[in-house]
Structure 1
Amino acid sequence: MKELQQDVDGYIRQFKEGYFSPLALLARLTEELGELAREVNHYYGEKKKKPSEPEKTVEEELGDLMFVVICMANRLHIDLDTALERVLAKFNTRDKNRWTRISDERKR
């Protein structure tokens, strides 16, 4: 993640405007999430794409979303490696017995 954050930072620093404000980034994140939801609905849901709609992919929309998440983290000086490690630690402690493990299923 550190390398990705550095890549995005290198891209953004080319421009005088720099990073958008956290509020503008949140609005952009919401917009990108809506576009991802639309694509997921087209491919996996009931609402199929119209022939006149441009081809986009879930992969493309996930990439857009990830770019904005990285911009938000960079703008707020958040190390995403650390943030993800903390989330994984939370799942591995608080939620460790919440789901049925595959290994538990095999024992039955």
Structure 2
Amino acid sequence: MYNKDSMAEMQKRVDDFISQYEEGYFSPLSMLARFTEEIGELAREVNHVYGEKPKKTTEEDNTIEAELGDLLFVLISFANSQNISLNEAFDQAMSKIETRDKNRWTKKE
């Protein structure tokens, strides 16, 4: 179900792309600003699809999927810039959640 290689491959693909440019990765504060911008764009798209605010006829078509993809790219870039393995970060987060929240909700029969 969970293929650790796929995340490592995504991190390498992003690194290969960014490494071909002299500028390299943005600073941590710029990465955080980009991440925040992408969250805002995702929120706007979710609001258009599920909220009370319809998209203007002059706005370009967009999708929640596209915004999640942009957010994932920025997340991977941020992790790479800090030499963080997202596989390890994910495993740590899931271990914490699976322990802390194992009895929090009603389990399906």
For Structure 1 versus Structure 2, the TM-score category normalised by the shorter chain is over 0.9
The structure with the larger Rg is: 1
- Aligned-residue CA RMSD in angstroms? 0.5
Q: How does 1:82-93 map to 2 (within 5 A)?
A: 82-93=88-99
- Give the superposition deviation at 1:100: 1.1
Determine which of 31, 41, 54 is the counterpart of 1:35: 41
User: Does residue 17 of the first structure (1) align with residue 23 of the second (2)?
Assistant: yes
Q: How does 1:1-108 map to 2 (within 5 A)?
A: 1-103=7-109
- Give the superposition deviation at 1:102: 1.1
- Give the superposition deviation at 1:88: 0.7
TM-score by length of 1: 0.94
Matched residue of 2:21: which SS?
A: coil
How many residue pairs get aligned? The number is 103
Measured in 2, the distance between the counterparts of 1:82 and 1:58 equals: 27
Instruction: Give structure 2 stretches of 5+ with no counterpart.
Output: 1-6
- Give the superposition deviation at 1:66: 0.3
